[in-house]
Amino acid sequence: MISHPVAGIAGDPMEQIVETAAPDYGPFGKPLIDDPDARALSRVGVVDVGSNSVRMVIFDGAARSPAYFYNEKVMCELGAGLSETGRLNPQGRIRALAALQRFQHLARDLGLPALHAVATAAVREAKDGAEFCAEVLEKTGLEISVVNGEEEARLSAQGVLLGWPGAYGLICDIGGSSVELAEIGDGAVGQRMTSPLGPLKLRDIKGGRRARKAHIKQTLEDMRDQMGPQRDRLFLVGGSWRAFARLDMLRRGYPLNVLHEYRMTHKQVRETIKFIEQNDPDKLRAQAGVSSSRMALIPYAMDVLARLIRTFKPKDIAISSYGIREGLLYQQMSQKLRDRDPLIEASRFAEAKDARLPGFGKHLYDFVMPLFRSAPPQRVRLIKAACLLHDVSWRAHPDYRAEVCFEYVTRANMSGLKHSERVFIGLALQHRYRNKRAGNRFGPLYDLLDEPGQKQAEVLGKAMRLGAMLWMQSDAAMGKLRYHPKKHELHLILPKTAAPLFTETAEARFNSLAAALKADTKVIIRG
């Protein structure tokens, strides 16, 4: 078992992030946008030939936290019937080959360098796996690397590290034909194992559910005996886990339909299993937006999950949308790039691409920070991100800009963010553009953030709203805030050259910020 720091909440990855910032770049660190290592990863295509599906993903954008430029999946079920025949599903081979021909054609048209393709359990176990790879190479020019179970586990674990740089715990990646376990901690992958517990294999077991559950129990207990205790966070990777999470969201009436970093407790998992067993699967599938082919595998996957939790007893459970494909991208990163905070790098990239005054986010951060001197590091990084993102939605219509900001952050494909943290940044950006938030359609999401967090997000938003009125040349002196919470006083100190910027609108915003802090105001002009 990988050891981890005693301090802090076990499994909270962002407590482990330490930014190694050069002094002249302040708390943000040196930008990576112009770094050669980052530019080399500006657009990367990977293909995952799995037992159940074949998928191509093209990554683009901020190298440390890339967006999905293109993402396409074909359900081929290459591993269907493998236990009985020892060969790949013939129809699956036809579909997979057609998908790979399409993917290779798309990659060429987009001017991508060579696609990075891997195949997992079905291809490595099938008698005709090598023959299939040779056929793909002949007909598409795409060379497929067939990885063993431990390598598959490592790549999946690296995918989780892409999204959670400081994460520690147990990774469970479920594919069509196999289930991989890997432990992570201190930015590294530890022990890893593979097992034949994929749904396509489990449905071929004779003897019904009782025999299947006995097989799962024995297999997982053997894995636990070899891996040792794993009581930290359990990270679930794979399409069947994501489908299960959608059903859990449906049962709970969860307001934010973002799977990455979705959390479940042991109790919630048990209740959702009962919920699935007691309801019509076709109705659940339609309501949750799960495909029929994926829904057919849920009964097998949930038997694995129930026993997995009972066997390893993790602290809590998190869904990771990142897995083997993201692990392939992580593989190509330098350690310097891996060590960066993906949230900050993605926010910086968005500012450089979309803000009216790129670089102002750092000055805005300096302006608002006197209000948050006692904020813990986890909250400080959210303040940084909000300041970088404060102006990226300026093209939206003014009547809808606040809502666009909130929706952008809460739905964006950003890693390193808990759902409550998405809401914190979203609320701050809402208040950056609008004084009040009552009466909009996002009310149910606010409850994902506690009341003190909501209040702090409001203060941050109103401080950014004021700071945006004080734009000057980047080398000019900007106004400063000085906050005395015990005296309930808020001072705005302006250089004489900036005094003309403090007009009625700026004053109104200053007073609104002071009201949120319940502080008296004072404006000081110097120089």
User: The CATH number of the domain where 158 resides is what?
Assistant: 3.30.420.150
Residue 436 is which amino acid?
K
Of residues 59, 85, 84, the one with CA closest to residue 70: 59
Residues 215, 293, single domain; the answer is yes
**CA 461 and chain centroid, separation:** 24
Compute how many other C-beta atoms are within 10 angstroms of the C-beta atom of residue 361. Answer: 26
Whether residue 30 is contained in a domain is answered as no
Q: Which residues contact 276 (CB under 8 A, 6 or more apart)?
A: 247, 284, 298, 299, 302
Cβ pair 435, 515 in contact under 8 A: no
Whether residue 493 is contained in a domain is answered as no
Low-confidence stretches of the chain (pLDDT < 70) are 1-42, 472-477
Residues 273, 398, single domain; the answer is no
Nearest 5°: the CA angle 155, 42, 152 is 10
Of residues 179, 214, 215, 212, the one with CA closest to residue 198: 179
Residues 297, 438, single domain; the answer is no
Which residue reads 């207990």 in tokens?
221
Predicted local confidence at residue 11, as pLDDT: 38
Give the end-to-end CA distance of the chain in Å, rounded to a whole number.
Answer: 61
Q: 301, 327, 353: which is the final residue of a domain? A: 327
Q: Whole-angstrom Cα distance, residue 454 to residue 434?
A: 15
Residues 176, 273, single domain; the answer is yes
Q: 104, 130, 147: which is the final residue of a domain? A: 147
Chain segment 382-394, per-residue pLDDT in tens: 999 999 999 999 9
Q: 147, 174, 206: which is the final residue of a domain? A: 147
pTM: 0.88
Instruction: Name the domain count of the chain.
Output: 3
Residues 130, 68, single domain; the answer is yes
DSSP 357: S
Q: Three-class SS string for 113-168? A: CCCEEEECHHHHHCCCHHHHHHHHHHHHCCCEEECCHHHHHHHHHHHHHHHCCCCC
Burial class (CB in 10 A: 0-12, 13-18, 19+), 77: buried
Phi-psi region of 228 (alpha: psi -120 to 50; beta: other; left: phi over 0): left
Whether residue 42 is contained in a domain is answered as yes
Q: How far is CA 233 from CA 4, 79, 168, 176, in A?
A: 12, 30, 7, 23
Q: Is the dihedral of CA 485, 369, 374, 517 positive or negative?
A: positive
Nearest 5°: the CA angle 60, 65, 69 is 25
Q: Which residues contact 55 (CB under 8 A, 6 or more apart)?
A: 47, 48, 71, 72, 73, 74, 325
Residues 322, 443, single domain; the answer is no
Q: What is the DSSP string of 397-430?
A: -TTTHHHHHHHHHHHS--SS--HHHHHHHHHHHH
Cβ pair 311, 303 in contact under 8 A: no
**CA 27 and chain centroid, separation:** 23
Whether residue 490 is contained in a domain is answered as no
Q: Which residues contact 11 (CB under 8 A, 6 or more apart)?
A: 167, 168, 169, 232, 233, 315, 316, 318
Compute how many other C-beta atoms are within 10 angstroms of the C-beta atom of residue 276. Answer: 20
User: The CATH number of the domain where 462 resides is what?
Assistant: 1.10.3210.10
Whether residue 12 is contained in a domain is answered as no
Domain span holding position 412: 341-475
Residues 163, 259, single domain; the answer is yes
Q: What is the helix (H) or strand (E) element at residue 248, kind and residue range? A: helix 239-252
Residues 139, 156, single domain; the answer is no
Residue 197 is which amino acid?
L
Predicted local confidence at residue 23, as pLDDT: 36
The token pair at 422 is: 């998405």
Cβ pair 291, 246 in contact under 8 A: no
Q: Whole-angstrom Cα distance, residue 173 to residue 116?
A: 20
Cβ pair 330, 158 in contact under 8 A: yes
Residues 467, 409, single domain; the answer is yes
Whether residue 469 is contained in a domain is answered as yes
Predicted local confidence at residue 334, as pLDDT: 87
Residues 123, 214, single domain; the answer is no
Whether residue 470 is contained in a domain is answered as yes
Q: Whole-angstrom Cα distance, residue 411 to residue 388?
A: 17
Residues 296, 172, single domain; the answer is yes
Going across the sheet that includes 263-264, the strands are 188-195, 179-185, 169-174, 233-237, 317-320, 263-264
- For the chain, what is the radius of gyration of the CA atoms? 25
Predicted local confidence at residue 474, as pLDDT: 61
Whether residue 311 is contained in a domain is answered as yes
Residues 123, 134, single domain; the answer is yes
The token pair at 54 is: 């074949």
